[in-house]
């Protein structure tokens, strides 16, 4: 599988939903497979909160980990890179190379945006992707596929750019972020802001990567409460206690605590706290109806085939939320498939249980 | 209704499950109603994480709030103080007057325990209550009633002191704390420890009450994620946005965020961070089987009538956990009633939806 990582730079301003703009701006993206002559074999992959453009493959043999959806994307896999040319972008605001709060506040300035970066919405992320595709001469997509915040992008793309894609496959997502999830996002944000080392966004990013940032670690651990279901916590950890720790020591740890600590402590090494705050805001603000009279009017824009995939054990974006989209689409007589994958794993199923829906995606892409 | 608040002081050591001891120690408690001559009309009330001995009534007309279970306890109420003498203690480790990390590390010392306080378990809390009851000459209880951590105490009391009570009514609780809840507790603890103003437990409690403690505020907000169900978040807040805040301001707030902030900011005014950490540990450590070969052997100790009340929408201690107790009790041919209250409210139902189970308790106490 051929992997290419590229950056596209734009001098024209990116007008944002907030009324503010980014100028200049850039977007980093990765491609897998080969674009055919007709340019009609393109699939857009959209990533979740902590995802990146690196969705599949390894850059070198030495890489420990492949891209985040490597189980799904590759030669002969569900998204077959022998047939399709897959594009995966890093969303605006994220910290893997696209324009973000860590970028210069003005061209040539040594000062970063920090907390002066404009609020980014899912609509803005999608707009940037569309401009990128236009610049590449891609006028039509075979499919748009993403989970969680990636599913929000897929849905938003379908609403804003009707007929641009054949198939839209949003997974483990919702039509609007519910207050319980807004609450989680708020607390994660507050945990970061509360850390004096965050310095109101004026921290040294290299230092943070090296020394960690307790507030971001706590935010990451809070996130895990929504990514795994209680049943998965049971199965994965039970009530096992670290053998090195005393049961009646105040700081003695259950296995689950040690797991959270490990994942928390690693997070600042590879993810930026400002980007995290901005992307949380984008997720909290997500409501596919915004800009339309109501949900029905928003969904009525869609002219692509919609295939919804939810997971029974998802306690972040519940299946009932995606069923609601299905119901509305049915009322509108719009093409919509709904698949509910039986899984106790929880929200992260879309990342870790690819074998459960790989064939569904393969079949959709065959049509 | 007659309310009395008293403190009992003990010179004899309290031997703890950890092998450590408290000496001297004290326990603050409140009573409602009148003890009859035979001393056989006593009901013990056990409180949850942030609860106190002040379960019912007001100390004066000027009090804004009555005790935390005032809907249930009082003259003519579900727990009728015209008939019963109700005792409510503040658990060991908590910050409302019983021996806690804020107490002197030695009699007469000006130094506090702080993080040198021993780990307290639910078994220890119950042991302290039993010693108090013994000292009052109460040799039998009509009932023990409590929700959440209060339910853990009720269960533990039944296992450790068989035949001491007629009826045990644990609500919204479990037989062992699951790893998903241990995870929540761990993150709340870490949020407190991460706050430099916590000063490793060497803070000035008066200053904290006045200035707040961001880490404890964050912990409290995390707690709310488990106290309310997603459906309750929907109903209570929806996606309403504060009218004073801009939708596309980074720090613009949804109503739910403002609610969390308000409750978070208030918490340090009335609850202590060290006590919070110690009680979280007690909850995480809770496993009714500890000290026995397995769950069945533990439950087999029970000689009282057990009445379990769970809430369908409880996402902290799921109904299935209490059903498991019912199943085991049935296998053992032990007396056990199981009631599942239909409620979307979530874990806090046992506090805020008293009308849904008041009659159940009244009926149990009639028998």
Closest to B328 (Cα-Cα) out of B300, B287, B290: B300
CB atoms within 10 A of CB B359: 10
CB-closest option in B117, B187, B224 to A222: B187
**Chain B residues touching A273 at Cβ < 8 A:** none
Residue A200 in this model has a pLDDT that exceeds 80: yes
Q: E strands of chain A, at which residues?
A: 3-10, 14-15, 21-22, 25-32, 42-46, 73-74, 79-80, 85-89, 141-147, 165-171, 305-311, 336-341
Asked if A18's CB is within 8 angstroms of B178's CB, the reply is: no
Within 27-86 of B, beta carbons closer than 8 Å to A belong to none
Q: E strands of chain B, at which residues?
A: 3-10, 14-15, 21-22, 25-32, 42-46, 73-74, 79-80, 85-89, 141-147, 165-171, 305-311, 336-341
Q: Average pLDDT, stretch A194-209?
A: 97
Give the gap in angstroms from C-alpha A279 to the nearest C-alpha of chain B.
11
Q: What's the rounded Cα separation, in Å, for the pair A106 and A112?
A: 8
Within 198-217 of B, beta carbons closer than 8 Å to A belong to 214-215, 217
Give tens-digit pLDDT for A19-34: 999 999 999 999 999 9
Instruction: Catalytic residue, from B53, B103, B307, B347: name it.
Output: B347
Q: List, as own/partner pairs, every contact residues A63-66 make where C-beta atoms lie below 8 angstroms and the sequence separation is at least 24, other chains included.
A: none
Q: What's the rounded Cα separation, in Å, for the pair A51 and A69?
A: 10
pLDDT of amino acid B103: 97
Per the annotation, the verdict on B258 as an active-site residue is no
Q: What are phi and psi of A171, to 5 degrees?
A: -125, 150
Residue ranges in chain B modelled with pLDDT below 70: none
Chain A residue with CA closest to B20: the answer is A248
Closest to B311 (Cα-Cα) out of B277, B345, B361, B283: B345
**Chain B residues touching A222 at Cβ < 8 A:** 187, 222
User: Residue A344's pLDDT band (boundaries 50, 70, 90)?
Assistant: confident
> In 3-state terms, what secondary structure has residue B260?
helix
Q: What's the rounded Cα separation, in Å, for the pair A228 and A271?
A: 20
pLDDT of amino acid A293: 98
User: Residues A43, A141: contact at Cβ < 8 Å?
Assistant: yes
Give tens-digit pLDDT for A118-167: 999 999 999 999 999 999 999 999 999 999 999 999 999 999 999 999 99
Give tens-digit pLDDT for B212-241: 999 999 999 999 999 999 999 999 999 999
Per the annotation, the verdict on B229 as an active-site residue is no
CB atoms within 10 A of CB A193: 19
Q: Tell me the C-alpha to C-alpha distance, in Å, between residue A250 and each of A254, B58, B116, B285.
A: 11, 35, 9, 10
Asked if B194's CB is within 8 angstroms of A230's CB, the reply is: no
Give tens-digit pLDDT for A52-68: 999 999 999 999 999 99
pLDDT of amino acid B107: 85
**Chain B residues touching A234 at Cβ < 8 A:** 178-180
User: Residues B30, B4: contact at Cβ < 8 Å?
Assistant: yes
> In 3-state terms, what secondary structure has residue B287?
strand
What ipTM is given for this predicted complex? 0.96
Residue A107 in this model has a pLDDT that exceeds 90: no
Residue pointed to by tokens 């998802």 = A314
pLDDT of amino acid A340: 98
Task: Output b/e per residue, B142-177; b: 16+ Cβ within 10 A.
Answer: bbbbbbbbbbbbbbbbbbbbeebbbbbbbbbbbbbb
Instruction: Catalytic residue, from A47, A314, A343, A348: name it.
Output: A314
Q: Is the pTM of this model over 0.95?
A: yes
What's the mean per-residue pLDDT of chain B? 97
Residue pointed to by tokens 């704390």 = B177
Instruction: Catalytic residue, from A50, A94, A148, A229: name it.
Output: A148
pLDDT of amino acid A151: 98
Residue A87, classified by CB atoms within 10 Å of its CB into exposed (0-12), middle (13-18) or buried (19+), is: buried
Q: What's the rounded Cα separation, in Å, for the pair A168 and A141?
A: 10
What's the mean per-residue pLDDT of chain A? 97
pLDDT of amino acid B344: 87
- Taking the Cβ of residue B136 and every Cβ of chain A, the question of whether any pair is shorter than 8 Å is answered with no
User: Residue A49's pLDDT band (boundaries 50, 70, 90)?
Assistant: very high
**Chain B residues touching A186 at Cβ < 8 A:** 221, 253-254, 256-257, 260
DSSP state of B136: T
pLDDT of amino acid B257: 98
Q: What percent of chain B has pLDDT over 90?
A: 98
pLDDT of amino acid B64: 92
Instruction: Catalytic residue, from B314, B343, B348, B349: name it.
Output: B314
Asked if A115's CB is within 8 angstroms of B234's CB, the reply is: no
Per the annotation, the verdict on A148 as an active-site residue is yes
Angle at B111 between CA B110 and CA B116, to 5 degrees: 155
């Amino acid at each position: 599988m051929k992997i290419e990582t590229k950056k596209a730079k734009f001098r024209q301003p990116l007008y944002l939903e907030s009324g503010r703009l980014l100028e200049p701006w850039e977007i980093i993206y990765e491609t897998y497979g080969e674009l055919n002559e007709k340019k009609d074999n393109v699939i857009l992959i959209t990533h979740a909160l902590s995802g990146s453009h690196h969705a599949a493959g390894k850059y070198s043999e030495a890489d420990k980990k492949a891209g985040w959806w490597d189980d799904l994307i590759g030669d002969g896999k569900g998204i077959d890179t022998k047939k399709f040319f897959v594009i995966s972008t890093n969303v605006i605001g994220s910290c893997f190379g696209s324009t973000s709060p860590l970028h210069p506040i003005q061209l040539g300035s040594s000062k970063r945006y920090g907390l002066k970066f404009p609020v980014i919405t899912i609509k803005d992320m999608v707009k940037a992707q569309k401009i990128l595709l236009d610049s590449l001469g891609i006028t039509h997509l075979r499919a748009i596929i993403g989970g969680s915040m990636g599913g929000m992008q897929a849905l938003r793309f379908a609403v804003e750019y009707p007929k641009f894609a054949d198939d839209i496959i949003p997974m483990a997502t919702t039509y609007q972020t519910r207050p319980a999830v807004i609450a989680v996002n708020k607390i994660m944000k507050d945990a970061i802001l509360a850390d004096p080392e965050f310095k109101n966004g004026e921290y040294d990013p290299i230092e943070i990567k090296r020394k960690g940032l307790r507030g971001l670690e706590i935010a990451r651990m809070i996130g895990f409460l929504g990514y795994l279901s209680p049943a998965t916590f049971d199965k994965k950890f039970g009530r096992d206690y670290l053998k090195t720790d005393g049961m009646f020591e105040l700081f003695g740890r259950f296995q689950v605590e040690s797991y959270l600590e490990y994942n928390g402590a690693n997070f600042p090494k590879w993810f930026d706290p400002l980007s995290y705050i901005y992307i949380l805001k984008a997720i909290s603000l997500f409501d596919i109806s915004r800009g339309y009279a109501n949900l029905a009017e928003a969904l009525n824009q869609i002219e692509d085939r919609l295939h919804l995939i939810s997971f029974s054990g998802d306690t972040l974006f519940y299946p009932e939320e995606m069923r609601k989209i299905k119901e509305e689409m049915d009322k509108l007589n719009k093409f919509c498939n709904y698949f509910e994958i039986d899984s106790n794993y929880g929200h992260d199923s879309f990342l870790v249980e690819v074998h459960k829906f790989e064939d569904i995606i393969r079949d959709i892409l065959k049509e």
